[in-house]
Each structure stands twice: as structure tokens, then as C-alpha cells.
């Protein structure tokens, strides 16, 4: 617990319906298939976390993978009624702690240059832009590559 009404815990299979709905809701989420989410729960190299509200169930999730000393941030989303309460920041911090314990030295991600909320979130948590993939996404936007030392 953290003084708010939400807590962070490992994701479980009973969360997947809500995670799938949340993924599908947001334009900027990667839109994984339900089967991909299921297999992610089983991967030993995955860090898959849920944020749960004491009042109303699942309110956010984080998916990342560990590749040697790197935590790759793959997806983080928060429910529309829970925004700007620090939930995404807490999910990411929890993932960083787990990744550090598993020997990770840095975190990496890609974010659309048009996704201002996510870009600001990552910057606030210490990520810096280290590269750009021009017109990487299907909407024509470029991907910013960001890195952070853990």
C-alpha cells in the first residue's frame, strides 16, 4: 500500500479480461491479442504487474521483459477514471525494483512522439531520448527511443 487506494501486485490470469479491455481502449497501447497476454503471464523473462483499486478492481497494468541486463518496457496503461493519480509511475517504479533485483542495469522503451502523456511520464521518471525511428507507427508518427539507468 502507498497511502492511496490502489496497490501494485503481480498480474494473474483472472485480471486478463480487464487488461485486454484496457489495452483495446487506448489508441496508443500496443493492442496485444488475448493469447499474447496469457502467454506473457507464463514467461520467466516477463515482469507483468497489475494495479488494483480497493474499491473497484483492476485500474492499470505494466508489461516488461528482461533481456540480459535490460528491462524492456512494452506496455503500461491506466483506466480512464484513474488517470493522474500516480498509478503508472508506481507501476513503473515497482517494475524497476523487480528488474534491479534480477540484475538489470537499464530500462529501454519506444514511445510515439504524439503520446504526450506517456512521454512526460517517462521523462519524469528519468528516461532520456536516445534515438528516433522515423514514421515508425501506422499513424505516421515517429517512435522515440528512450533509456534510463536503473
Residues that bind ligand COA (CB under 6 A): 26, 28-30, 75-78, 83-89, 115-118, 120-121, 124
What is d(CA 42, CA 76) in angstroms, rounded to the nearest whole number? 18
Kindly tell me which of 105 and 116 has the beta carbon lying closer to ligand COA.
116
What is d(CA 115, CA 8) in angstroms, rounded to the nearest whole number? 24
What is d(CA 11, CA 52) in angstroms, rounded to the nearest whole number? 10
Least distance to ligand COA, CB of residue 105, Å: 22
Kindly tell me which of 24 and 103 has the beta carbon lying closer to ligand COA.
24
Least distance to ligand COA, CB of residue 69, Å: 22
In degrees rounded to 5, what are phi and psi of residue 31? 60, 60
Least distance to ligand COA, CB of residue 119, Å: 8
Q: 514467461: which residue's cell?
A: 43
Kindly tell me which of 59 and 66 has the beta carbon lying closer to ligand COA.
59
Kindly tell me which of 11 and 103 has the beta carbon lying closer to ligand COA.
11
Least distance to ligand COA, CB of residue 91, Å: 8
Least distance to ligand COA, CB of residue 22, Å: 8
Kindly tell me which of 62 and 104 has the beta carbon lying closer to ligand COA.
62
Helices (H) and strands (E) in the chain, counts: 4, 7
Q: DSSP string spanning 63-127?
A: EEEEETTEEEEEEEEE-GGGTTSSHHHHHHHHHHHHHHHTT--EEEEEEETT-HHHHHHHHHTT-
Amino acid at each position: 500500500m502507498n497511502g492511496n487506494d490502489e496497490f501494485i501486485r503481480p498480474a494473474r490470469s483472472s485480471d486478463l479480461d480487464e487488461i485486454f479491455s484496457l489495452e483495446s481502449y487506448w489508441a496508443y497501447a500496443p493492442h496485444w491479442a488475448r493469447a499474447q497476454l496469457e502467454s506473457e503471464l507464463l514467461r520467466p523473462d516477463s515482469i507483468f504487474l497489475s494495479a488494483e483499486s480497493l474499491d473497484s478492481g483492476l485500474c492499470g497494468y505494466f508489461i516488461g521483459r528482461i533481456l540480459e541486463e535490460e528491462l524492456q518496457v512494452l506496455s503500461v496503461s491506466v483506466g480512464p477514471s484513474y488517470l493522474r493519480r500516480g498509478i503508472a509511475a508506481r507501476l513503473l517504479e515497482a517494475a524497476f525494483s523487480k528488474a534491479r533485483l534480477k540484475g538489470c542495469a537499464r530500462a529501454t522503451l519506444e514511445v510515439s512522439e504524439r503520446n504526450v502523456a506517456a512521454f512526460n511520464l517517462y521523462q519524469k521518471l528519468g528516461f532520456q531520448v536516445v534515438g528516433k525511428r522515423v514514421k515508425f507507427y501506422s499513424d505516421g508518427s515517429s517512435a522515440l527511443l528512450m533509456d534510463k539507468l536503473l
